[in-house]
Structure 1
Amino acid sequence: MPLPKTGLLAQVSAAHLVSHLHIMALPALLPVLPGAWGLSFVELGLALSVFNVVSALVQAPLGFAVDRFGARRLLMAGLLLGSAAFGSLAFSGHYAWLLTAMALAGIANGVYHPADYAMLSAGIDSARMGKAFSVHTFAGFVGGAIAPALLMGIASTLGVRWAFAATGLAGLLAWVFLFAGEKPALAARPASKPKTAAGGGAGVRILTPAILTLTLLYVLLSLSTNSIGSFSVSALVGGYGVNLTWANAAVTAFLFASAFGVLAGGALADRTRRHGLVAAVAFAGAAVLAALAAWGRLPDLALVLCLGATGFLTGVITPSRDMLVRAAAPPGAEGRAFGIVSTGFNIGGAVGPMLFGWLLDRGHFSGVFWAAVVFMALTVMLTLLQEHRAARAPRPLSRPAAG
């Protein structure tokens, strides 16, 4: 007997939790890796860039593979590859292998978004899609949020190698959860219709202005949130005189509050069509709070609360963002749509670490936060522009196509 719909959501969410734990593994260990492995922040930033460049290159092709060969099969393969990549760092601390492992992890990371969203789109009722997306994204944010405390705790007591071993083990546990569970029943969805793929190329029509604009939005979201989530601990300790405990508490508050912001955003996504306005208001508030943190005169507890509120507001946008992508995707092409759009995360993830690592190596610690402010402001401008275009455009068939 196939699992109920909640079983599908649990399996996909478990994989998404691990994917974000893997994404945050290297950033979480940034404060100790320079001393443990003798690397500069720029070298570590390059490793993160390799991860994201590879993900950007493979994500769209993997989206096509998901639609053709099956999302669940590729999702399980991605879990195994990611686990092997991070687990291998427990045995080798050489910089060349770090770059190789991050490239392999980047391939694995390219699977998650196309596979996850294709499975959810095929197996969850449209009326509950906003909440399902928010639970799925919440699980991912939880994976990222537990990474700093969990992996830094392991590294400080057992060493960096054991932290990477635990990262690999988490992926294996998620793989076992998918392998041992029954295969969820997915709704039969029509293959791409001839109208969708004029001339036979399903990828031709999917590169619409809406998809390309959403890809740019993902780039800006990646740059604005990763600057805080990945580099704020090093910035706070190195430039603001915040001790490591309070700095970790602040970024953990940012990440956990982001997760709960996602749940609030899921409720909004099922109740409004003004997704661009929701994003603009949330990110405008986040930009103000990030500027307050960049100012650098907040007491430790106030800093934790400030970054927590910033994270909550950045989380609110995510379900609406996912609904926009799903509405823009042709029927049966969700894997391709999310594969293409999600490359925006990787483009931002490739550019950001080099930029933020350069700022840290040159002592421009406040620049990490001011960069977040700038990228958030650009996000607000883009979403308001999209909201204006959507208000002026006729509303055709995009919402039924999501069902």
Structure 2
Amino acid sequence: MTVAQIRRASDVRVIGLISLAHGSSHFFHLVLPPMFPWLKNEFALSYAELGLLMSIFFVVSCIVQAASGFLVDRIGARPVLFAGVALLSLAGLTYSQSTGYSMLILGAVIAGLGNGVFHPVDYTLINHKISPPNLPYAYSMHGVTGYLGWAAAPAFMVGIAQLSDWRMAFLSAAALEALILLILWLNKSQLIDDVKERHAQSHADEQAINPGGAPASAFAFLKLPAVWLCWIFFFFSMASTSSLQSFAPSGLFKVYQIPIDVGSYFITLLALGSAGGVLFGGYLAAKLKAPERIVSSCLSVTVVMCLLLATGMVSAEIIPFIFFALGFGYGVVAPSRDLLVKLATPKGVSGRVYGIVYSGIDLGAAVGPFIFGFFMDAGLPKALFIGIAIFQIMIIPTVFKVSSNTVSKAV
């Protein structure tokens, strides 16, 4: 084998391992919501209480995401990755043994601790282990496996719960995560990153940006309006997505009398549509080079679809296609969204910008289900789809404002 072939083979192995880990983190985003009907009956919980579990999960993840980046820089990505996967497995075990709401809260906290490490770990390994020609493929696979993790969770959890019970579903999720940890451990030599080398490269980049001068404030980038516009984009985007994932099955049951277990499979269709959409969206973003037009056009279509669902007049046979199309639209938006973040990121502060912007994802995922849980408890399931449409409408102005801001200057 030539050096290039050896390097490509190594890249494929690393991409595969990172993508497997990333998919497992997204899988754990959705192990809890499909079990809401079972947990509601078992512990006599309200929808607001169930939504609060997801809020706790994502708030903890938001905090850990910012902190774990410093830990990755200090001790390396591999041990942090192993800890994150192990915590997810422990969370599944905790859920399975729950005897009340307090143990479910504990499981959500543990799951949030594990989930928060993945973006800092994944992007550190990708940026330092993958050769430049293969980076686009790495980012693509990383994104797609996240959607596939979302797609797998509802079918996995509901299927096992129907065959056995909800405790066995959570226990199986814990066992699956333990198996993934074993695979990563057996291939640990592929996941070593040189911390000293990264520190040296970071210092060299800083000197290249500001040779011989005093270093800029570490927080100067927070003054850029485009950074906060991107944060708003991510916040409302994930608030709408997580709310749909959490309560769509229950909402469809109340509005259209679609069985909840069938509605859970629609969430799988949503995720599969997203996986296909992100592949097409990457091609579209490269060809059109107009991210604001792509985002606004796709979101306009998804808004109309959500409003149609809210009417209660859509044929039940069409709803699966609507969910797949919704997912496809969300997926097409993703590459253009990431391009907008890149355009809004000054040279030399990308890590800090991504940390702030991605925290919007976790906080949006925490707030959305909590808000809509009250609407569901109030017997207003149509408000779920209307609210999601409103959240998406609020995103559209931000993409044009980001594009119109001059953000290319260094901080």
Shared fold (TM-score greater than 0.5)?
yes
Q: Secondary structure at the match of 1:191?
A: helix
2:175 corresponding residue in structure 1: 169
> For 2:325, which of 288, 309, 317 is the aligned residue?
309
2:3 corresponding residue in structure 1: none
Gaps of 5+ in 2: 1-5
The 1-side partners of 2:244 and 2:165 are apart by 25
> For 1:183, which of 157, 182, 190 is the aligned residue?
190
Gaps of 5+ in 1: 399-403
The 2-side partners of 1:112 and 1:358 are apart by 31
2:238 corresponding residue in structure 1: 222
The 1-side partners of 2:343 and 2:73 are apart by 17
Kindly indicate whether the alpha-carbon contact (under 8 Å) linking 2:267 and 2:323 is maintained by their aligned counterparts in 1.
yes
2:316 corresponding residue in structure 1: 300
Kindly indicate whether the alpha-carbon contact (under 8 Å) linking 2:345 and 2:408 is maintained by their aligned counterparts in 1.
no
- Offset at residue 126 of structure 1 (A): 4.8
The 2-side partners of 1:324 and 1:128 are apart by 22
Kindly indicate whether the alpha-carbon contact (under 8 Å) linking 2:148 and 2:275 is maintained by their aligned counterparts in 1.
yes
Cα distance per residue 1:175-202 (max 9 Å; x no partner): 2222111325769652151557996687
The 2-side partners of 1:20 and 1:164 are apart by 15
**Could you tell me which amino acid in structure 2 is paired with residue 365 of structure 1?**
P
The 2-side partners of 1:99 and 1:59 are apart by 19
Kindly indicate whether the alpha-carbon contact (under 8 Å) linking 2:76 and 2:193 is maintained by their aligned counterparts in 1.
no
Kindly indicate whether the alpha-carbon contact (under 8 Å) linking 2:39 and 2:45 is maintained by their aligned counterparts in 1.
yes
1:374 corresponding residue in structure 2: 390
Kindly indicate whether the alpha-carbon contact (under 8 Å) linking 2:151 and 2:272 is maintained by their aligned counterparts in 1.
yes
Kindly indicate whether the alpha-carbon contact (under 8 Å) linking 1:119 and 1:186 is maintained by their aligned counterparts in 2.
yes
Within-5 A mapping of 1:1-400: 4-126=10-132, 128-181=134-187, 182-184=189-191, 190-192=201-203, 193=206, 203-207=218-222, 209=224, 210-326=226-342, 335-389=351-405, 393=406
The 1-side partners of 2:162 and 2:181 are apart by 28
The 2-side partners of 1:214 and 1:170 are apart by 35
Q: Using a 3 Å threshold, how does the CA distance of structure 1 residues 321 and 73 change in structure 2: closer, same or farther?
A: farther
Kindly indicate whether the alpha-carbon contact (under 8 Å) linking 1:67 and 1:335 is maintained by their aligned counterparts in 2.
no
**Could you tell me which amino acid in structure 2 is paired with residue 204 of structure 1?**
F
Count the aligned residue pairs.
395
Cα distance per residue 1:267-318 (max 9 Å; x no partner): 2344454223222222122111221222221222201111110110001122
Cα distance per residue 1:65-109 (max 9 Å; x no partner): 223332232122111112112212222232112112211211111
**Could you tell me which amino acid in structure 1 is paired with residue 202 of structure 2?**
A
The 2-side partners of 1:86 and 1:202 are apart by 41
User: Which structure has the larger Rg?
Assistant: 2
Q: Using a 3 Å threshold, how does the CA distance of structure 1 residues 20 and 67 change in structure 2: closer, same or farther?
A: same
Cα distance per residue 1:98-127 (max 9 Å; x no partner): 112211211111111121122222334555
**Could you tell me which amino acid in structure 1 is paired with residue 180 of structure 2?**
A
**Could you tell me which amino acid in structure 1 is paired with residue 120 of structure 2?**
P
**Could you tell me which amino acid in structure 2 is paired with residue 227 of structure 1?**
S
Kindly indicate whether the alpha-carbon contact (under 8 Å) linking 1:118 and 1:335 is maintained by their aligned counterparts in 2.
no
Q: TM-score scaled by structure 2?
A: 0.87
Identical-pair percentage:
31
**Could you tell me which amino acid in structure 1 is paired with residue 83 of structure 2?**
A
What RMSD over aligned residues (CA atoms) do the two structures have, in Å? 2.7
